[in-house]
């Protein structure tokens, strides 16, 4: 071990503690880690080593002694925190065979009697604790800080793999079962493709996508995310099982999702064989794993071994090192997305990595390129880890060729030549030529036609053809396309033209919130569009809104507000909206079943008076969209008088006389927007 003075050790311990807390926060709360798990484990190992050598500097609050917290109160969520009945701990981990043998020797020294191990995959998701009572799912908590977790039951009930009701023999009256919620690769790729399409940053890996999804405030959105679950730890009082394997088999019998890949083995050598086998096999699994968990199988021996402050002594994790490949960087493409964002993408000499051939890797933005000091011709390290989008993690400077040259980030859009701009608050460069940059325009058509937007039968190839023939320039042009124009396209028959026209016709019924999303306003993804539709009720009210009106809405920050304001101020946007309205698209929420926002005002009659942050017409539409009825005058049937600014004094007096509650716009919004 390297020599280190006492003062240097103290400083280094302080530094590592701060550093690790920050990485814990990035990982568990922001779902946006900035270092790999391997790098994190190295820092943690260093801190553990120093605290062991200098116990006088080891404090209770050290990250070596508590688990990273995923509690989201700090991020402004409204999940209730609930105490765990039994603390929810982490696992010790190792990358080293000798340490694993030492884990076995320590167990042999501590327990009396023979033991076996349960070898299991280490699923790379986010931990969950489910409580069942009388065979019914009662509650789902995240790990939180290990002693209390966020109650995410309302979201978890939307994961099909998790049974709400158990069936079978001898189900304990109450028990907890813990496991992992994860996102299979296929769902992850689909979600990221949608996010990129929406101009949102993709999730770095399936784990971040899973934990981000679990904390969504909208359970309906959560249902679309394709999450899965596997459970691996049963807890309860007086459970009748002797081994962990037996307990999980029983749980499987009650209908709970238990891994089919676990294996009970009799020795640490057999556990090592399992590790070796799965180091290869895991690459063919449809979901991410980051290691193998080895647990003493006998429950009585688990009790004898007990816990440290942070993890059980009866289990440990073998972590797989992220696979890396070293390959030359051939060139860099600068891709322009539909929102104008420019992404540098590295073209690599094709190289085999984790079962696939990698040819391209994202370089994110100019800052990242500068940080890596990347040169064309460099040998670069590419990593996938648990991730599907390969990333460049470093440059092998010893292999830098003499003629390697620093890439020049373009000053102008590679597609239309307009000088690029960079928002001071964002790392990305943008092409500001929204109105006539061809890639951006084509991208907007593809987005507009997308399944979650207007659902028109026009993919990339169709848009390309229509554009090349100059049949379309702005979005509303789609609604003027003729059958003759369509059948003249390469490979199109009358049938395809008719299908296309039918999908255009059907898109006129698409509810306002999806139309708003389809318009492709920067930073307005699917969720934001829903929030805005719910708040303003119509495009006119949204376009008339000021910055203050926008930022006071929950989940709408300054960046989104500014993007909306810039959009609504442009003549192109106004023209586009008017022409789409004339074509018959929904530009306001209506009370048809398709665009019902909620039933919260079902059976209630509301009378409005005065001015609101949205027009009076929009307010009436909003009431109807939430199932309520509008009335012009107060009567015994009126549920509320909704009073805006300058509400009529006569109405207010009458309401008081009839005992009708008077509510403000913000009361009303709470009524319709609360969960």
Q: How many residues does the chain have?
A: 675
Tokens of 189: 């790729």
* Nearest C-alpha neighbor of 32 from the set 550, 427, 501, 493: 427
* Residue 89 binding ligand IVH, by CB under 6 A: yes
Q: What angle do CA 78, 529, 437 make, to 5 degrees?
A: 135
* Residue 161 binding ligand IVH, by CB under 6 A: no
Q: Do 328 and 400 touch, CB atoms closer than 8 A? A: no
* Residue 120 binding ligand IVH, by CB under 6 A: yes
Is the Cβ of residue 110 or residue 664 nearer to ligand IVH in the bound state? 110
The DSSP H or E segment spanning 566 is helix 558-569
* Nearest C-alpha neighbor of 213 from the set 95, 221, 71, 400: 221
Q: Which of 27, 28, 123, 274 binds ligand IVH (CB under 6 A)?
A: 123
Q: Strand runs (DSSP E) across 368-527, as ranges?
A: 379-383, 391-395, 421-422, 429-430
The DSSP output letter for 202 is: P
Rounded Cα distance, 607 and 501, in Å: 42
The DSSP output letter for 310 is: S
Q: Which of 58, 91, 275, 501 binds ligand IVH (CB under 6 A)?
A: 91
Is the Cβ of residue 15 or residue 307 nearer to ligand IVH in the bound state? 307
Number of Cβ atoms within 10 Å of the Cβ of 249: 13
Tokens of 7: 């003062």
Is the Cβ of residue 290 or residue 513 nearer to ligand IVH in the bound state? 290
Q: What is the per-residue binding string for ligand IVH in 258-297, x denoting contact by CB under 6 A?
A: -----------------------------------x----
Per CB under 6 A, the segment of 5-13, 33-41, 118-126, 333-341 that binds ligand IVH is: 118-126
* Residue 232 binding ligand IVH, by CB under 6 A: yes
Q: How many residues bind ligand IVH (CB under 6 A)?
A: 14
Rounded Cα distance, 155 and 589, in Å: 26
Rounded Cα distance, 623 and 587, in Å: 16
Q: Which of residues 625-654 bind ligand IVH (CB under 6 A)?
A: none
| Integer angstrom CA distances of residue 512 from 82, 243, 526, 588 | 38, 56, 12, 5
Per CB under 6 A, the segment of 4-12, 86-94, 397-405, 498-506 that binds ligand IVH is: 86-94
Rounded Cα distance, 221 and 107, in Å: 46
Per CB under 6 A, the segment of 32-40, 277-285, 311-319, 588-596 that binds ligand IVH is: 311-319
* Residue 312 binding ligand IVH, by CB under 6 A: yes
* Residue 90 binding ligand IVH, by CB under 6 A: yes
Per CB under 6 A, the segment of 18-26, 83-91, 493-501, 532-540 that binds ligand IVH is: 83-91
* Residue 317 binding ligand IVH, by CB under 6 A: yes
Per CB under 6 A, the segment of 11-19, 77-85, 121-129, 570-578 that binds ligand IVH is: 121-129
* Residue 251 binding ligand IVH, by CB under 6 A: no
Q: Which residue is nearest to ligand IVH (CB)?
A: 127
What is the smallest separation between the CB atom of 584 and ligand IVH, expressed in angstroms?
A: 51
- Give catalytic status of residue 295 as yes or no: no
User: Any bridge partners for residue 118, and if so which?
Assistant: 264, 295
Q: Do 66 and 146 touch, CB atoms closer than 8 A? A: yes
Tokens of 305: 């071994």
The DSSP output letter for 69 is: P
Residue of 122, 442, 629, 651 marked active site: 122
Is the Cβ of residue 180 or residue 513 nearer to ligand IVH in the bound state? 180
284 alpha-carbon distance from chain centroid: 24
Q: What is the per-residue binding string for ligand IVH in 171-190, x denoting contact by CB under 6 A?
A: ---------x----------
Residue linked to tokens 């556990």: 271
Is the Cβ of residue 58 or residue 91 nearer to ligand IVH in the bound state? 91
Q: Give catalytic residue positions.
A: 122
Rule CB under 6 A: which residues touch ligand IVH?
89-91, 120, 122-123, 127, 180, 232-233, 293, 312, 315, 317
């Amino acid at each position: 071990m390297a020599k280190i003075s006492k003062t240097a050790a103290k400083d280094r311990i302080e530094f590592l503690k701060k550093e690790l807390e920050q990485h814990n926060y990035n990982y568990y709360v922001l779902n946006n880690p900035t270092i790999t798990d391997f790098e994190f484990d190295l820092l943690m190992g260093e801190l553990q080593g120093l605290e062991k050598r200098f116990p006088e500097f080891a404090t209770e609050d050290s990250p070596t002694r508590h688990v990273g917290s995923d509690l989201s109160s700090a991020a402004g969520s409204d999940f209730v925190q609930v105490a765990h009945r039994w603390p929810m701990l982490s696992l010790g981990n190792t990358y080293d065979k000798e340490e694993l043998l030492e884990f076995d020797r320590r167990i042999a020294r501590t327990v009396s009697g023979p033991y076996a191990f349960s070898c299991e995959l280490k699923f790379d998701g986010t931990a969950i604790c489910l409580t069942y009572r009388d065979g019914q799912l009662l509650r789902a908590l995240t790990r939180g800080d290990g002693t209390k977790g966020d109650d995410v039951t309302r979201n978890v009930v939307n994961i099909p793999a998790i049974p709400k009701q158990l069936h079978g023999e001898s189900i304990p009256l109450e028990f907890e079962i813990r496991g992992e919620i994860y996102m299979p690769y296929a769902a992850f790729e689909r979600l990221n493709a949608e996010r990129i399409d929406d101009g949102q940053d993709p999730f770095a890996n399936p784990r971040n996508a899973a934990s981000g999804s679990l904390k969504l405030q909208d359970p309906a959105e959560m249902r679309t995310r394709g999450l899965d679950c596997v459970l691996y730890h049963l807890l309860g009082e007086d459970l009748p099982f002797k081994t962990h394997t037996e307990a999980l088999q029983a749980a499987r019998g009650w209908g709970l999702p238990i891994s089919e890949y676990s294996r009970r083995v009799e020795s640490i050598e057999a556990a090592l064989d399992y590790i070796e086998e799965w180091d290869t096999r895991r690459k063919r699994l449809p979901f991410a794993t980051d290691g193998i968990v080895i647990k003493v199988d006998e429950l009585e021996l688990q009790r004898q071994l007990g816990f440290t402050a942070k993890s059980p002594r009866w289990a440990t994790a073998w972590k797989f090192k992220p696979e890396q490949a070293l390959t030359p960087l051939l060139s860099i493409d600068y891709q322009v997305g539909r929102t104008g964002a420019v992404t540098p993408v590295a073209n690599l000499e094709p190289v085999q990595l984790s079962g696939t051939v990698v040819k391209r890797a994202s370089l994110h933005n100019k800052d990242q390129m500068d940080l890596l000091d990347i040169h064309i011709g460099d040998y670069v390290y590419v990593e996938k880890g648990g991730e599907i989008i390969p990333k460049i993690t470093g440059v092998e400077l010893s292999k830098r060729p003499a003629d390697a040259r620093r890439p020049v980030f373009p000053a102008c859009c590679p597609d239309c030549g307009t000088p690029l701009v960079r928002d001071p608050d964002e790392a990305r460069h943008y092409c500001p030529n929204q109105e006539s940059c061809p890639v951006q325009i084509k991208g907007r058509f593809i987005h507009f036609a997308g399944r979650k937007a207007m659902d028109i039968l026009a993919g990339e190839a169709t848009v390309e053809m229509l554009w090349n023939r100059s049949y379309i320039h702005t979005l509303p042009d789609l609604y003027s396309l003729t059958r003759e124009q369509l059948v003249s396209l390469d490979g199109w028959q009358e049938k395809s033209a008719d299908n296309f026209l039918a999908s255009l016709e059907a898109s006129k019924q698409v509810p306002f919130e999806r139309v708003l999303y389809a318009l492709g306003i920067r930073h307005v993804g699917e969720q934001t569009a829903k929030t805005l539709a719910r708040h303003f009720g119509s495009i006119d009210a949204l376009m008339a809104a000021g910055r203050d009106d926008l930022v006071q809405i929950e989940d709408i920050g300054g960046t989104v507000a500014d993007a909306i304001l810039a959009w609504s101020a442009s003549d192109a946007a106004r023209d586009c909206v008017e022409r789409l309205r004339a074509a018959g698209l929904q530009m306001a929420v209506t009370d048809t079943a398709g665009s019902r926002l909620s039933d919260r005002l079902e059976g209630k009659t509301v009378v409005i008076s005065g001015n609101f942050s949205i027009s009076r017409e929009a307010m009436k539409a909003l009431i109807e969209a939430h199932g309520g009825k509008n009335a012009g005058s107060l009567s015994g049937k009126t549920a509320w008088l909704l009073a805006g600014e300058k509400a009529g004094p006569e109405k207010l007096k009458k309401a008081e006389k009839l005992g009708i509650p008077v509510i403000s716009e913000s009361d009303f919004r709470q009524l319709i927007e609360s969960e």
